[in-house]
Amino acid sequence: MKVLIFMSELRVGGAESMSIALANALAGEGIDVHFASASGPLRANLDKRIAFHRIDNPNVFPLRVAHTLSLLLSEIRPDIIHSHGATCATVATAARKASKVPCVRVLTHHSRVFRRAPGWIAARIMARTADHYIAISKDKQEDMVACGIPREKTSLIPNFVDVARVEERVAAVDAAQVRRGLQIPDNAVVLMMAGRVVDTKRFDVFVKIAAETARRLSPRAVHALVVGDGPELERVRRIARDEEATIHFLGFQSDIFPSLAISDAVVFPSQHPEVLPMFLIEASAAGKAIVCSDVPGNREIVTDGETGRVVRGDVNAYAGAVTEIVADTALAHRLGAAAHATALERFDQKHVAQQTIAVYQGLLAGREPKG
């Protein structure tokens, strides 16, 4: 089986990271994998066994990329072209038609929103640009069905991590050294949030939660880690000064595991239209207790009272949940262990790769014979 993964570009982002992770996982299962996209900083994460084909960004040059992709299809003749994003799927459909290569089209649409066209237009286009659709969450699957895509043409396959690798990387961190480097006392509570610092992620709320938690735990110190960069960063810094909170702004980190290793709890009050947040999957794999907002994508990862706390309320409600966890070591350990078990069962790389391969095999088995 030969699979071509098609992505717009390899900048930093959840969809981009997952397209690479999928390609690497498939290659690890012995699949002949090719990858086509514009380049970017994540290019270095692609497994050396994968043939990378650099093309222009289809979001910027759709017609040019359709032509380039049609030539690539004629050259490598994949069995499957797996697009990530509606624009990529549209371009892939045009390229397949031009090349006359009868590859099966698969689409993973990572976002809950359509960014380049009104939803009612984009949904109709998307419903015609793939033979099968992979939904990374139950909520996204219902979105697809609402777009007019037959349920039998969808498969629920979530985002994933290599759980064993996460465990190894967290265990290898010298937590005492990381704390010393950040000047965090040994007995201080450490909270963490990671992601792009945009308004809907609510890093400002995270800072206020950290400040309120510190007031409740006084005299025990509370330090909070903001891992990420974005347009709201300076505003969040000002709020941290106003709140007199002890916040470490670490910027973008290609490796978040040192921060996870020293954290007592992960806090994620985001209201961003996430489908299935990778940060929470990584935190679960690391065995961290999580306090998160009550939005659909979060609820598919965190079960309130079992693997973390799902909060419906204001800063005080979040601070209450965080305080309860960090003040009770046994509770934090129980929630973290349950989160890890869930990650191993539902979000582990090998399991998800095998699910994806099974979808590919079923599609190829159902394809009409050539000629």
Q: What is the pLDDT along the chain (371 residues), one digit of tens a residue?
A: 999 999 999 887 778 888 999 999 999 999 999 999 999 888 888 999 999 999 999 999 999 999 999 999 999 999 999 999 888 999 999 999 999 999 999 999 876 555 555 555 666 777 788 999 999 888 888 888 888 889 999 999 998 999 999 999 999 999 999 999 999 999 999 999 999 899 999 999 999 999 999 999 999 999 999 999 999 999 999 999 999 999 999 998 888 999 999 999 999 999 987 778 889 999 999 999 999 999 988 999 999 999 999 999 999 999 999 999 999 999 999 999 999 999 999 999 888 899 999 999 999 998 754 43
Phi-psi category of residue 148: left, alpha or beta, with phi > 0 → left and psi -120 to 50 → alpha: left
Please say whether the beta carbons of 347 and 284 come within 8 A: yes
Q: Which of 300, 254, 361, 277 is nearest to 26 (CA)?
A: 361
Dist. CA 268–CA 15, nearest whole Å = 19
Q: What is the 8-class DSSP label of residue 29?
A: T
Please say whether the beta carbons of 131 and 104 come within 8 A: yes
Q: Which of 79, 130, 68 is nearest to 102 (CA)?
A: 79
> Side chain identity at 48, as an amino acid letter?
K
Give 223: exposed, middle or buried? Use CB within 10 Å, 0-12, 13-18, 19+: buried
- Comparing 2-160+349-366 with 163-346, is the CATH topology the same? yes
| CA angle (73 as vertex; 70, 77 as ends), nearest 5 | 155
CATH domain 163-346 topology: Rossmann fold (3.40.50)
CATH domain 2-160+349-366 topology: Rossmann fold (3.40.50)
Angle between helices 14-28 and 349-366 (to 10 degrees): 80
- Cα dist. 30→25, 38, 228 in Å? 9, 25, 35
| CA angle (57 as vertex; 104, 33 as ends), nearest 5 | 40
> Side chain identity at 265, as an amino acid letter?
A
Beta carbons within 10 angstroms of residue 296's beta carbon: 16
- Cα dist. 215→251, 278, 280, 327 in Å? 26, 30, 26, 13
Domain range annotation of the chain: 2-160+349-366, 163-346
| CA angle (337 as vertex; 332, 339 as ends), nearest 5 | 95
**Dihedral angle sign, alpha carbons of residues 300, 302, 307, 309:** negative
Q: What is the pTM of this model?
A: 0.82
